[in-house]
Amino acid sequence: MASGQLSREEALACSECRHACHVMLYSDTKTQLFGRIPIRHIILMQMRFDGLLGFPGGLVNPAEETLEAGLSRELLEEVGVALPVSVEDHVATCFAPASSPSSSSSRLILHFYVKKIEEEQIREVERAAASTATDHGLEVLGMVRVPLYTMKGGGGLGLFMSHTFIGNARSQLVDALLRFNLIAPKDLHKALTHSLK
């Protein structure tokens, strides 16, 4: 287990901690930008009410629901689709960074999941998130796709990475890109180098 990570058991043993679960939904795609730049994967993030980019999900109370049931409930509210998320989709659990905005003094534990779905399901999520989702226009201003390519001149992933993210969403994204082979490490490195300029 990577340093700073908690096991599910350790996390749930903390009775005074609060818990939040978020998920990265993604699919493969054969579509090409401008008919020539492969998109490769569609990865969904969201523009939140606070102007920060993050993953769909939210606060879960393990005393009332399982982590995964709570995450599915948040998904229904935020993207309008009842997508089951299971223990097998879990990838990491850690304490929230100290800089996370919080109205409570109890520690916040972040559980992160990654779920691969079909491209058509991604489109269904995008349609529902922009229409029937109860949080649309409220907690969630809109879904956004992550550009995985780097264009001549540097546009693409590097510039996307230079936006501001909630909590540890940026590092969750970077870790997931590598863990699930969604980008070659050298291409990620190139994009991240660009984002620092």
62 binds ligand APR, rule: CB under 6 A: no
Exactly one of 25, 57, 125, 160 binds ligand APR (CB under 6 A); that residue is 57
Who contacts 65 (Cβ-Cβ below 8 Å, separation ≥6)?
A: 73
Alpha carbon distance, N-terminus to C-terminus of the chain: 32
Spatial distance between the Cα atoms of 79 and 168, rounded to a whole number of angstroms: 21
CB of 44 to ligand APR, least distance (A): 12
Q: Other C-beta atoms within 10 Å of 115: how many? A: 20
58 binds Mg ion, rule: CB under 5 A: yes
CB of 176 to ligand APR, least distance (A): 10
74 binds ligand APR, rule: CB under 6 A: yes
133 binds ligand APR, rule: CB under 6 A: no
CB of 159 to Mg ion, least distance (A): 24
Per-residue 3-state assignment (H helix, E strand, C coil) for 32-71:
EECCCEECCEEEEEEEECCCCEECCEEEECCCCCCHHHHH
139 binds ligand APR, rule: CB under 6 A: yes
**Residue numbers of the site for ligand APR (CB under 6 A)?**
20, 22, 54-55, 57-59, 74, 96, 100-101, 110, 139, 166-169, 172
